[in-house]
Amino acid sequence: MHKAITVTKDTFWVGVNDYETDLFESLWPLPQGVAYNAYVVLGEKTAAIDTVKGPKFDDYLDKVAETLAGRSLDYLIVNHMEPDHAGLTAQLKRVYPGLKIVGNAKTAPLLKGYHGIEEDVVQVKDGESLDIGGHPLFFYTIPMVHWPESMVTYDAATKTLFSNDAFGGFGAHEGGIFDDEKPRPRWEDEMLRYYAAIVARYSNLVQGALKKLKGLEIKNIYPAHGTLFRTDIGQVAELYDRWSRHDTECGVVVAYGSMYGNTRHMAEAVCGGICEGGVKNVRLYDASRSDMSLILRDIWRYKGLVLLGCTYNTVLFPTVAALCEKLINRMPKNRLLGIAGSYSWSKGALAALRAFADAVKLERVGPEVEVFTAPTPADLEQCAELGRNMAKAVSAGQQ
Ligand SMILES: Cc1cc2nc3c(=O)[nH]c(=O)nc-3n(C[C@H](O)[C@H](O)[C@H](O)COP(=O)(O)O)c2cc1C
Ligand SMILES: [Fe+2]
Ligand SMILES: [Fe+2]
């Protein structure tokens, strides 16, 4: 990945792979790295679309210079001010002093705040265009996908949508950068994990963005993270549409918190019941040991969720409580929820899960199970019943 790559006429990928950042946003693990995709479009004038994360400046700049082949850089289009894309704005302007920075009204205060830049800013409105000579670039705001100032850039000449965080995914480029150069499960899993971790909270605004972009004839979707799509744009748009509509697959995530295994036995009994009920897609997660982004990813994928926790210092076990908090923030819909708790003296876990269930407003599947110390065979049968009921409920209406 040391060279720029031609991605369509006059258009180059000048992005980088990042294997050094271990936690994206200091939160989300990157076992397969992450890519920051940035682009250069050459018309009569030259334009860069987004930059990359700070420490990768030299790598990025080499590629930009390679594509420019001695020309100067006229425009930097800032689709999104988050520093993983716009962090190099001031540095780039120092290298190319004539650089004009293109953003919208909500970009301006962030540009001033992060980079002290107020001059040479071209402010564009939603739907406005900038013709760089041979490449009419249109800008469409997509508020909160991922920040208030987020926008996409559409090149009407090549019918390419530079979508920034939208349609983005974790994972560095391992070989090629395009969808037809990677196996779909590889990119889809990491795209959904990115969606669930970063974008899911704003799902209704994703729906708005999709509606806004619907009229465009799009041949390529080139996001700022992960795979570049040029083969079957429809399938990618459909994924985003489904995820943001809370449309799910038939399956159940069972996530638990347990110190000494008693609550885990309950969770395993639930899984047994789900299997008995004929549902194969069961994902059992120890909330203390599996990364939250994997659990969130599968919650976003599947229709059913069962949460179990023991009581810890009078409240719900902390790692399950943390998962509940993340879910409240993302407000999943159209899913089914089952809950179970354990205790030895004061209780607390199940009551907290009930409060969570009320707050998240998901349809409930029973029975609720509350277990004293170690689960008895009757307790485990109740857990299995919860699993069977969940299987029946998630199967209903699905093939
Ligand atoms: C450090 C610690 C704190 C606990 N706090 C409470 C509590 O406040 N109230 C309660 O009813 N049980 C409490 N328990 C008991 C556990 O909820 C109970 O033993 C449960 O069966 C443990 O499930 P596990 O085997 O899945 O870890 C606590 C246990 C431990 C180890
Ligand atoms: Fe972002
Ligand atoms: Fe990003």
pLDDT one-digit tens code per residue, 157-203: 999 999 999 999 999 999 999 999 999 999 999 999 999 999 999 99
Please report the atom of ligand 1 found closest to the CA of residue 372. 21
Provide the 10 A C-beta neighbour count for residue 363.
11
Pick the CATH number of 253-393 from 3.40.50.360, 3.40.190.10, 3.90.120.10, 3.40.50.720: 3.40.50.360
Ligand 1 centre to CA of 346 (Å) is 9
- Amino acid letter for position 234: G
Residues whose beta carbon lies within 6 Å of some atom of ligand 1: 258-263, 310-314, 342-348, 373
Q: Where are the domains of the chain?
A: 5-245, 253-393
- The pLDDT score that the predictor gives to residue 232 is 87
Please report the atom of ligand 1 found closest to the CA of residue 374. 21
User: What's the chain's Rg over C-alpha atoms?
Assistant: 24
- The pLDDT score that the predictor gives to residue 135 is 98
Ligand 3 centre to CA of 191 (Å) is 12
Ligand 3 centre to CA of 164 (Å) is 7
Q: CA–CA distance from 157 to each of 8, 46, 218, 223, 245 (Å)?
A: 10, 15, 11, 18, 31
Ligand 1 centre to CA of 264 (Å) is 13
- The pLDDT score that the predictor gives to residue 247 is 98
Strand partners, 310: 342
Give the three-class secondary structure for 149. coil
Q: Give the DSSP letter of residue 362.
A: P
- The pLDDT score that the predictor gives to residue 2 is 79
Provide the 10 A C-beta neighbour count for residue 72.
12
Pick the CATH number of 5-245 from 3.60.15.10, 3.40.50.2300, 3.40.50.1480, 1.10.760.10: 3.60.15.10
| 257/267 Cα distance (integer angstroms) | 9
pLDDT along the chain (399 residues), means of 10: 93 97 97 97 98 95 98 98 97 97 98 96 98 98 97 98 98 96 95 98 97 97 98 95 98 98 98 98 98 98 98 98 98 98 98 98 98 98 98 86
Please report the atom of ligand 1 found closest to the CA of residue 261. 25
Q: How far is CA 131 from the centre of its chain?
A: 31
In this prediction the pTM is 0.96
Please report the atom of ligand 1 found closest to the CA of residue 347. 11
What string of DSSP letters covers 23-61? EETTTEE-TT-EEE--EEEESSSEEEE----GGGHHHHH
Give the three-class secondary structure for 363. strand
Tens of pLDDT along 342-359? 999 999 999 999 999 999
